[in-house]
Amino acid sequence: MNHDMISSSQVYGFLPVEIEGVDALAALALDMRWSWNHEADKLWQRLDPLLWELTHNPWIVLQTVAYDQLERQMANPEFRGMLDDLIKTKQTKLSSPAWFQENHADAPLTCVAYFSMEFMLSEALPIYVGGLGNVAGDQLKSASDLGVPVAAVGLFYQQGYFRQQIDKYGNQQALFPYNDPGQLPVTPLRLPNGEWLRIKVSLSGYPVWFRTWQVRAGRVKLYLLDSNDPVNLPVHRGITSEIYGGGPDQRIQQEILLGIGGWKLLNALGIKPEVCHMNEGHAAFLVLERANDFMKENGTTFEEALAVTRAGNLFTTHTAVAAGFDHFSPSLMEQFFGDYAVNELGINFNNLMALGRQDPNNTSESFNTAYLAIRGCGAVNGVSELHGAVSRRLFQSLFPRWPVEEVPVGVVTNGVHTPSWDSEFADELWTEASGKSRWRGELKTLEENINTIPNQKLWDFRNASRNRLVNYVRKRLERQLMLFPQTQEMIDATKSVFDPNTLTLGFARRFVSYKRPNLLLHDEERLIRILTNQERPVQLVIAGKAPPFDEPGKALIKQWIQFIQQHNLYKRVVFLSDYDMLLTENLVQGVDVWINTPRRPWEACGTSGMKVLVNGGVNLSELDGWWAEAYTPEVGWALGDVQEHGDDPGWDAVEAGNLYDLLEQQVVPGFYSRDGHGIPVKWIEKMRKSMATLTPRFSANRVVREYTEKYYLPAAANYKKRAEDKGTWAKKIMHDMNDIKNKWQQIYFGETTIGNVEGGYEFKIFIGLNGIHPEQVAVELFAEGMNGAGPEIIKMEPGTNQKEGNYWYHVIIKTKRKAADYTIRIKPCYEGISAPLEDNRILWQR
């Protein structure tokens, strides 16, 4: 079914389509590919420079501009030529084969459905909070660049996340402006007959209707569900009123809408994804509805259907602490899923609850959506190497008796969509070095290309970027101060805030305690000395929001404002309010150093520091998240001892001192130490190495290619194999699983012999399998890892001698370790299942 966007005049009916070319301009404004294409900026600047600067929303510019201005520009050969070239380029790129088509044209993958609670595509579509939306938006954009077939599903919020104002006393004020669909780059999702597609979902037995919207981002479409339908009761119209708003009752309904409603939406569009990618556990109820759909279509049981569909599901966790997962009480779950379990899934309610509990038999335990996602997926991954290790510890209780290293959580470290975050200066530099299509392929030559750029050119680029940031800070600060009563002298002073030749540090985060946004304030006098040094001055730009009801977080913001005021540091430190995507773009494009100070290991990955890489910024960060695997002394500076210290204030004091030391002894001297041509050669070396090696490595281009080849393609093949012939393969899996379950506890380890051989040992063991076929289990020799290495796991082979289901297993190993280091174990291994993810049984020899 084709659901291409209809013309702008059909959507809202007010654009002057009688002016030739306006429909083409509207089509461009409604394709969010403009959010990462700098060439299109010039069109919107020509129509209304101020409105474009303030909103970066082409759809608003197009609706607001006067008709006579539109007529003049459309009649202007230069403007019309720019528009025609952009439309032609867009059509050429969309019709040309991309990386996926060139490398995986015969793959069994036609669609990946990507589910996320938030998407950060542009400040023009404020349906995001922060990091999770950033990851989702950047991956969609890279999927478009690479031609990976993705259809995304999310929610359309009436208010989105709050907007921030900070009064002159440092108090954060939260504002919730309404998201007017008519001013956002979204269109109603209409069926071929013109009907607005609406999805019905039962909530506590009550039918609720959800409107649908679509957003185009190059090759990719994002579908959004919205509860604000006039036919709904007021209590239901408010389900999508705000992102992460309300209490558990609203949260569970949002997650039902995302998971169950999202799958129903795809069905209504005729979209049949082989793979469903859940970006966090908010969409976990998708697991139930996808299995429900397969069950009814193919006449299977729910358990058999889940064995099929889980093979095509991928769960990405971003959470670093157990408290971060969504939990719903048994009573709330029964309210929304009691009838659903029986009438839709054909199972009793306790069996459904067991999917979300650590102990399936504990009826008082709450329902954890992350547990449901794990039990309903064929693969699970964390978002950095360190976070993968943290997640394996978090989920170890679901896999009793399994070593933590084998808890089935893989890793794809996050990355950012570089074309969305590079400045015009960076775009020009990289284009000259690596070509315009550099982010649409495999990035193999980028490091070599950056290494050819002369030092002078890199330094000129950095100076231009910093100068642009200084101008932006002055303008934004002036607007910010005018919101509250200020003296004219104070407002006029904004014109001299910051110096374009001064080392500029940036810090922008959510203001929550574990991010430690006030670590720099531990010794205020020392920080003041660093900032106000006459010969080597430093300036600092800060931004960040505290959650609306987080009083300690708000106090952290107030502490910074008071620090600036009390020490009259207006020209050296600026706190910019309303941290959003547009502000982030300007900060990461202009700062020399990006500072990040979370408590290890509470930052799952972090992406803000990745955004400075393409722009020549250098990171000074805690060895947490992505920086723990990215850092070397050649690319930046690091805090921390790779240990975990919790919220120990003594350790905070130590790290604050280390941070000051780094600034005083390495960062500041490195920036101001110049050669005879005025170039800081050592600084440029670090900047170049960071740009050349880290930018491609931590790009969303690499991330999407890695997801595709590591997860999507295998998942699609496995799902199709299990789904064939109405799930016959999955029925065999369930038969074998139940058979092994009934026989498992009667397996026994018999006589064991260990013989010395040259350079190692021969292990032999007699095992009674209680009627289980040897091909249904794996017998392994296991030894814990040494010196930071992973465990040793060696498969043992069954011998030819057997008697009544009893088998000899043996293996010869070459090792210098003691024989006592090795233990024999048995695990399930049948019909291509993934153990321990799908079957967590394991037996160890005592």
- Partner residues linked to 271 by β-bridges: none
Start-to-end CA distance of the chain, whole Å, equals 60
CB 354 within 8 A of CB 345: no
The length of the chain is 846
CB 128 within 8 A of CB 134: yes
Q: Which residues are CB-neighbours of 70 under 8 A, at least 6 positions away? A: 16, 19, 22, 47
Measured distance CA(353)–CA(367) in Å, rounded? 6
Q: Quote the pLDDT of residue 10.
A: 46
Instruction: Provide the 3-class DSSP secondary structure of residue 594.
Output: strand
DSSP run (H or E) holding 757: strand 748-757
DSSP run (H or E) holding 716: helix 713-743
Residue 708 buriedness (CB in 10 A; 0-12 / 13-18 / 19+): buried
Report the candidate in 190, 312, 316, 203 with the shortest Cα–Cα distance to residue 257: 203
- How many of the other CB atoms lie within 10 Å of CB of 556? 20
What region does 488 belong to: left with phi over 0, alpha with psi -120 to 50, or beta?
A: alpha
CB 510 within 8 A of CB 547: yes
Structure tokens at 624: 């947490």
Q: Quote the pLDDT of residue 439.
A: 86
Sign of CA dihedral 724, 726, 727, 728: negative
pLDDT of 225-278, one tens digit each?
999 999 999 999 999 999 988 899 999 999 999 999 999 999 999 999 999 999
Measured distance CA(811)–CA(510) in Å, rounded? 54
pLDDT of 130-175, one tens digit each?
899 999 999 999 999 999 999 999 999 998 789 999 998 999 999 9
Instruction: Provide the 3-class DSSP secondary structure of residue 667.
Output: helix
- Does the pTM exceed 0.85? yes
Q: Quote the pLDDT of residue 199.
A: 97
* Average confidence (pLDDT) over 492-514: 93
pLDDT band for 37, please (50, 70, 90 cuts).
confident
- How many of the other CB atoms lie within 10 Å of CB of 186? 25
H-type helices in 273-348, by residue range?
286-298, 302-309, 330-339
pLDDT band for 483, please (50, 70, 90 cuts).
confident
pLDDT of 319-366, one tens digit each?
999 989 999 999 999 999 999 999 999 999 999 999 999 999 999 999
CB 707 within 8 A of CB 412: yes
Report the candidate in 60, 65, 76 with the shortest Cα–Cα distance to residue 21: 76
CB 596 within 8 A of CB 609: yes
